[in-house]
Amino acid sequence: MTIISCFKLKKESEALDYQPYPGDIGVKIMENISAEAWQMWMNHQTMLINEMRLTPVDPKSRKFLEEEMEKFLFGDGSAAPEGFVPEKK
């Protein structure tokens, strides 16, 4: 188990086991984002896909999701779609 300083969580945390995204952004994620923060993004991405009815194979949807991923992991965060109400557990 490798430990990294996670940019998103601002703490030492377990690193990802593999590069989860291609290209330079994938390398940046691998080096700076923990497995825990990546899982948080995956949950947020699933919500975006479902609520906004996105098709990940559509180039416009992929571009939108990549932009939201960068905001979520390295920026000020990615907002939920307008009117989204999370499920109560």
pTM score, two decimals? Answer: 0.87
In a domain, 88, yes or no: no
For CA atoms 28, 33, 34, 40, give the dihedral sign. Answer: negative
Q: Stretch 79-88: mean pLDDT, rounded?
A: 69
Give the domain range for residue 19. 3-74
- Could you please report the per-residue DSSP string of 43-76? HHHHHHHHHHT--TTSHHHHHHHHHHHHHHHHSS
pLDDT of residue 15: 96
pLDDT in tens, 18-66: 999 999 999 999 999 999 999 999 999 999 999 999 998 999 999 999 9
Domains held by the chain: number: 1
In a domain, 66, yes or no: yes
The CATH number assigned to the domain holding 66 equals 1.10.3880.10
In a domain, 83, yes or no: no
Structure tokens at 89: 């557990």
The answer, yes or no, to whether residue 78 has pLDDT greater than 90, is no
pLDDT in tens, 64-77: 999 999 999 999 88
In a domain, 81, yes or no: no
pLDDT of residue 89: 63
